[in-house]
Amino acid sequence: MNRSEIEREVRATLARLTEQDASGIAADADLGDALGLDSLGRLELLAEVEDRFDVLIEDVDMDKVATIEGIIDVAERTLAPADAGAA
* Catalytic (active-site) positions: 38
Which domains does the chain carry?
3-86 (1.10.1200.10)
CA distances from 20 to 2, 9, 25 (A): 24, 15, 10
**8 A C-beta contact, residue 22 and residue 35:** yes
Q: Is the pLDDT of residue 82 over 70?
A: no
Distance of CA 15 to the CA centre of its chain: 12
Smallest Cα–Cα separation from 13: which of 47, 48, 42, 50?
48
What per-residue confidence (pLDDT) applies to 20? Answer: 93
pTM score: 0.82
Q: Whole-angstrom Cα distance, residue 10 to residue 71?
A: 8
**What is the percent of the chain with per-residue pLDDT over 90, rounded to a whole number?**
46
Q: Whole-angstrom Cα distance, residue 25 to residue 61?
A: 22
